[in-house]
Every structure is written in C-alpha cells, then in structure tokens.
Amino acid sequence: MTYTASPDRYKQMEYRRCGKSGIKLPLISLGLWHNFGDVDVPENYRKILQLAFDSGITHFDLANNYGPPYGTAESNFGKLLKQDFLPYRDELIISTKAGYDMWAGPYGDFGSKKYLTASLDQSLKRMGLDYVDIFYHHRPDPETPLEETMGALDLFVRQGKALYVGISNYPADLAARAFDILNDLGTPCLIHQPKYSMMERWVEGGLLNLLEERGVGCIPFSPLAQGLLTDKYLNNIPDDSRAAKASGHLQTNEITADKVQQVRKLNDIASSRGQSLAQMALSWLLKDPRVTSVLVGASRPEQLADSLKCLERLDFTPEELVRIEEILR
C-alpha cells in the first residue's frame, strides 16, 4: 500500500533552531536504536516511521551498529526510505554515527580516520543515500588524536557525504577542544548528543552552558532513563521489560528501592499535571531552551503517540520544579 504523508504534519510540531545554524529540529526526534533491527517486525516499525513523519517528526537518528544485528537498523530504514519516504527526502534530517564496536580487528571501533571513513561509506550504502544530514562521532577515543577524528568529520563535509557534523558522549572539556579544532578547519560542530534525563544530569555540570556559549545544539538520548521514568517500574519489574533481560542496558540492580520511591513521587506530580510520568520526563527536558530536541524510541506506534503528548504541557510552575528537585536530590 502506497504511503502518502499527512498534509497537516507541520501543524502538529514545534521546531527549534539548532545552535547558531540554519537548521531547525522538531522538539521530538525519533531514535532507531532499538526496534528497527532484523529481530523486529517490519510492518510495526514501518507504522512507527509513518506516524512519526505524519506528526511532524522530520529527524530520524541512526548509528552504524544499531539493530540487532549491527547495521540492520540502517538497512531496514533504507528499505523504508525507498518504499515510503523517497519523495520526502528533502524534508528529512537523517543522522548516523560511528565510534562504537562495529566489526572485528583494530579498524572497526573508536575514532581513527580509517574506521570513520569506512563506516560512513557502509552506512550510506545500507541506507541507499548519497549523503547524511548529520554525521556524529559517537564517543571519545582516548588513544586517537582528537585532530585526526575531527579532521575526518571535516573531510566528510568537504566530500559531500555529510552536510553537518556532531559529537556524542563527549564531556565538556573534550567537547570544547573538539569545537575549537572543527572551527579552525571551517566545519563548525552543529550538535552534541549526550545522555540526559531527570536521573542522569551530568550535562548540567558545564556542558549545557558550553553548548549555549558556542552556539551548538543539544539533543539528549535516553530521556526516560531506559524506561525507568515510565509507569513500567512503579510496582515491580515486568517480565518483558529491559531490566528483566540479562542483556538489557537497564539492569535489575539499578532499580533500587530508593529509585522506585523517587519514581512513584515523580509519577504523583505527573498525574497532578495531567501527564504520564514519561510525558513529564520529556517535558522537563524541553523546558530548557538550550535543549534543541529530545530523542525518543518506540516499540509500537501507540508508544510514540503517547510520547508526543508531552508537547501539550511544556510549562512547569515554580512549585512543581522545586518539588521535582527535592525528590531527585
């Protein structure tokens, strides 16, 4: 069945300028970290992508090793791009990354020019694209000179393989050095993608201020703390949750009695605001104008639809913010 995008898609979303650039991003962006691999159901993730675009989400975020298996999120996205979204390519911001383990041997990980070049070429091939809109270095490499890694990002823009570049998981001091190198090369950093949520707030220790000063956008990932900031763990650990799976990124030992108490109290505030806990967690990030967009994942279209409702309540009273801080302390 042929897909035609909703003519009202841009009436449903608000967009924020990404640092000092010409790019605006939707307040909610879709991350394809989970649920788009070969282990997943194609018709399900097709519906998620269609709902996203119909709702004004123009930014789809991938990485070389998303799946599982590695690479399959990009391959499956490429198939759907060809099937549904090719007429809308110029309306989309498509990003990918490299920096984590991807293939065997010394050239399949971290930040060498060789690895990043090969990885981006593979990503473009998997997605059937001539270029990505944003290419990120996914994490700092303690052994490769930063000049080499940033030089590779600059090269990709000059080759036309990426329009913009970004970094992810960089602490403030290293991010500042990366920005300086990229500025000297003439390819300024567009955006930083840090892990940031109510439960993980290291970015407030200087990174957010740095991004504002340097005119770099901010797009947090894991805004729901791997599902902890949802109603999933209010009572116990469900069998189908990430925490219940030994291989998941959220482990059962992370869900302490104190955390559960915090989550229950936060849930009470969310209820009083007419929101789910997940919606309030997203709204809480977006209340800060330094946050350009927030990356959400979805295992079902209904889950994405629920997350989008956060846009209805981005305001917080001073009393709500004080109470939230007291709980999180």
Q: Note whether residue 247 is domain-resident.
A: no
Burial class (CB in 10 A: 0-12, 13-18, 19+), 39: exposed
Pairing status of strand 189-193 against strand 24-26? unpaired
Side chain identity at residue 132, one-letter code: V
Per the domain annotation, does 262 fall within a domain? no
What are the pLDDT digits (tens) for 133-161? 999 999 999 999 999 999 999 999 999 99
Question: For residue 279, what are its two tokens?
Answer: 């919606």
48 occurs within a structural domain? yes
CB contact at 8 A, 122 and 87: no
Q: What pairing do the DSSP bridges indicate for beta strands 59-61 and 189-193?
A: unpaired
What number of helices (H) and strands (E) belong to the chain? 10, 10
Distance from C-alpha of 19 to C-alpha of 134, rounded to nearest angstrom: 14
pLDDT score for 235: 80
For residue 270, being part of any structural domain is answered with: no
Q: So what's the pLDDT on residue 254?
A: 72
Spatial separation of the C-alpha atoms in residues 123 and 62, rounded to whole Å: 9
Which residue in 300, 289, 288, 237 sits closest to 263, CA to CA?
237
Q: Is residue 321 part of a domain?
A: no
Q: Parallel, antiparallel, or unpaired for β 24-26 and 15-17? A: antiparallel
Structural domain boundaries enclosing 53: 9-236+281-314
Predicted pLDDT at 255? 75
- Phi then psi dihedrals of residue 95, to 5 deg: -120, 150
Any domain includes 174 = yes
Which of 179, 300, 287 lies closest to 223 in space, CA to CA? Answer: 287
The answer to whether the beta carbons of residues 113 and 55 sit under 8 Å apart is no
Task: Give the β-pairing of 24-26 and 28-31.
Answer: unpaired
φ, ψ dihedrals at 30, nearest 5°: -100, 120
Give the chain's mean pLDDT.
95
pLDDT digits (tens, 9 = 90+) for 226-263: 999 999 888 866 555 555 455 556 656 677 888 999 99
The CATH code of the domain that includes 175 is 3.20.20.100
Tell me whether residue 210 is in a domain: yes
The tens-digit pLDDT sequence of the chain (329 residues) is 899 999 999 999 999 999 999 999 999 999 999 999 999 999 999 999 999 999 999 999 999 999 999 999 999 999 999 999 999 999 999 999 999 999 999 999 999 999 999 999 999 999 999 999 999 999 999 999 999 999 999 999 999 999 999 999 999 999 999 999 999 999 999 999 999 999 999 999 999 999 999 999 999 999 999 999 999 888 866 555 555 455 556 656 677 888 999 999 999 999 999 999 999 999 999 999 999 999 999 999 999 999 999 999 999 999 999 999 999 99
pTM: 0.94
| Chain mean position to CA 32 | 8
Q: How many domains does the chain have?
A: 1
3-state secondary structure 14-28: CEEECCCCCCEEECE
Q: Does residue 266 lie within any of the structural domains?
A: no
